[in-house]
Amino acid sequence: MMFKRIHKWVALIVFVQLLIWLISGFLLGKLDHTLASGRTTFTLTPQAEKAKAQPAYNIQALLRRYPETTEVKLVYLLGKPLYQLVFQKTLHSYQAANDLLIDAKTGKIFILNAQSASEIAMLSYKEQATVSDVEYLEPPIEELTREQNPVWRVSLTDSLNTSIFVRAKDAKIITHVNDETRWRDLLLMLHFMDYAQTGSFNNVIIQFFALATLLLSGTGFWWSIRLIFDHQIRFSWFSKLQSFKVNILKVNEDKVISARKDSSILSALSDNDINIPSICGGGGVCGSCRFSTSEDVEVLPADRQHLNQSLLEEGYRLACQHSVEEISEINIYKSFAKKRRDIS
Amino acid sequence: MLRETRKLHRWLMLFAGLQFLIWSISGVYMVLVNIHFIHGESLITKEAQPLPAEAVQYDISALLERYPMATNIRLGLLVDKPVYRFKQNGNDVMVIAETGKVVPAISETLAQRIASNSLQQEQEISSISLIVDNPPSEIGARRLPLWQVKFAGISGDTLYINPHNGEVATIRHNSWRLFDAFWRLHIMDYIEGDDINNILLNVFTIAGFLAVLAGLVLLYLRLTRSNEEEPQL
């Protein structure tokens, strides 16, 4: 019964995380995802603002200056045209890349300063608020774990504590982070066990716990299957009663008791105030709830594990493993006055 | 108490146990397989070629005069030719940077060439078709038309190419498809695959939570009870 032992010990290791997964998963479902994404306060810069100015600096000259360029984008920043030179292509904009911004009128390198960063941040913001702080941050960035490029954080004084992040390399608004976003990210960090704050669920800690949990649910699943096949879990809800005789050897007494056919002998005895030892409470784990019978009762795996061959041949079985309908008379050594250690 | 707890754990897990197994299997897959690989990053060539300056004769200012409403203007390569790509009234337009000529929607042959060039490893194309309507569910709500280029390898790589800008719109492969299936199983939203607050999931989460708590009590009772008490019979 290796799987039972594995089930127990693995449970001891993963139960905290199992609860965290269930709770954080549940709470993630309850989030306001639109609010958390920052879309409720975000607005696109008006088209008219973008199309005003025309670039003048020749693009061929630009490519001669920067021969490694793989792509040039024309972007507008507060009505000013800029060339964004891309040197390495990335699939996601958060991945590290050293793009360059060039003033499309003069050809000079453009560096996004705090003033412009906060201006474009406010242009993207729908509501009314004042800027409380503008800060330049290098990755890793606490509130933006995936981002691998330097950013400007423009903090606002609104009820949701919004911070607007502007990527320094391309002057793009990355996102609006508010208290709902922070709550979401905390839940995600817990769900992904991303304590190193990498923004990814491909980390070693969660990989270990995921495999351990697979072992736990795999052994648990196998256990359930065995219980069903060994007829220890029965699906008949309206089972008839059956009587059987119990000989209590120590005091040389016998009793006839009545119980549902599908209940285990152990629980039938205990329901009738006949208490035999049971350390594990009917799991087939401890092997203490022994009875014997002269009748022909099938030997189940748990019987075989806890009782040796001669005991089995003498008719010993575990009371938690067999149901009332399998027997009509059994022997037990003695009955305790009351449930021992199982006073619930 | 032990008996009641054991019963509770059993019956709750009889209800939620299969989902626990599904959560574990899908979770293991999602955390073990690198998400960037799932996105197809390792299948696509990373090295983009630099733009040849001599082939950029048509300047961006001329382009802006011709298309004053153009937005999202980008200069990049179409296979080996520099082209301007932009949006005009919401449509994708492509103009050759050497001549200023408009590039018509790309042909099947060109789509094949772009697809083959984009892949890191050479693979034989098994089929190519222009998807105009009824898109396969794996590309979601992307704008059509798209060239669908399927490769013959066992990984089932499929590239979707926008015929109006010649760019790879997205890449799908069997590992992605498996991830998607596991994700749906994980959040128990089998049809849409996006609602993580559905009733089914909530019911199983709550049942699972109670089952774990019952399991925890069992564990506590088992570990604190001594095994000194020997069987009496």
**pLDDT tens digit sequence for A14-58:** 999 999 999 999 999 999 999 999 988 998 866 555 555 677 899
Residue B31 contacts A, CB cutoff 8 Å: yes
Residues of chain A with C-beta less than 8 angstroms from the C-beta of B17: 217, 220-221, 224
Q: What is the pLDDT of residue A156?
A: 96
Per-residue pLDDT band at A251 (split at 50, 70, 90): confident
Cβ–Cβ gap B61/A63 under 8 Å: no
A323, A325, A329, A333: CA torsion to nearest 10:
10
Structure tokens given for A91: 């699939």
Asked if this assembly's ipTM is beyond 0.95, the reply is no
The closest CB to that of A73, out of B27, B74, B206, belongs to: B74
The gap from C-alpha A268 to its chain's centroid, in whole angstroms, comes to 40
Burial (CB count <10 Å: 0-12, 13-18, 19+), residue B191: exposed
Q: What is the pLDDT of residue A238?
A: 57
Q: What is the pLDDT of residue B56?
A: 93
Residue A51 contacts B, CB cutoff 8 Å: yes
Indicate if the pLDDT at residue A61 is higher than 80. yes
The closest CB to that of B231, out of A59, A200, A288, belongs to: A288
Residues 163-222 of B with CB under 8 A from A: 196-198, 201-202, 205-206, 208-209, 212-213, 215-216, 219, 221-222
Indicate if the pLDDT at residue B34 is higher than 50. yes
Q: B115-129 burial, b for 16+ CB within 10 Å, e for fewer?
A: beebbeeebebeebe
Report the length, in residues, of chain A: 344
Q: What is the pLDDT of residue A49?
A: 52
Q: Show the beta-strand stretches assigned E in A117-240.
A: 131-137, 151-156, 163-167, 173-177
CA distance A316 to chain B (A): 10
Q: What is the pLDDT of residue B233?
A: 38
Cβ B22 vs Cβ B16: under 8 Å = no
Cβ A24 vs Cβ A191: under 8 Å = yes
Per-residue pLDDT band at A308 (split at 50, 70, 90): very high
CA distance B2 to chain A (A): 6
Q: Which of A105-109, A340-344, B118-122 has the highest mean pLDDT?
A: A105-109
Indicate if the pLDDT at residue A199 is higher than 60. yes
pLDDT in tens, A202-237: 999 999 999 999 999 999 999 998 888 876 666 655
Strands of the sheet containing A151-156, edge to edge, are A131-137, A151-156, A163-167, A173-177
Indicate if the pLDDT at residue A344 is higher than 60. no
pLDDT in tens, B119-157: 888 889 999 999 999 899 999 888 899 999 999 989 999
In this prediction, residues A279-307 reach a mean pLDDT of 88
Strands of the sheet containing B158-161, edge to edge, are B125-131, B146-151, B158-161, B168-172
Residues 86-115 of B with CB under 8 A from A: none
Distance CA B135, CA B133 (A): 6
The closest CB to that of B2, out of A58, A288, A342, belongs to: A342
User: What is Dmax (Cα atoms) for chain A?
Assistant: 111
Residues of chain B with C-beta less than 8 angstroms from the C-beta of A344: 1-2, 4
Residue A38 contacts B, CB cutoff 8 Å: no
Cβ B38 vs Cβ B179: under 8 Å = yes
The closest CB to that of B233, out of A28, A214, A332, belongs to: A332
In this prediction, residues B29-56 reach a mean pLDDT of 90
Which residue of chain B is at minimal alpha-carbon distance from A284?
A: B6
Indicate if the pLDDT at residue B42 is higher than 60. yes
Cβ–Cβ gap A22/B208 under 8 Å: yes
Q: What is the pLDDT of residue B138?
A: 93
pLDDT in tens, B60-85: 989 988 998 888 899 999 988 999 99
Cβ–Cβ gap B225/A279 under 8 Å: yes
Q: What is the pLDDT of residue B172?
A: 95
Which of A17, A1, A282, A8 lies closest to B215, judged by CA? A8
Q: How many CA atoms lie within 13 A of B227 on its CB side?
A: 6
The closest CB to that of A344, out of B1, B196, B212, belongs to: B1
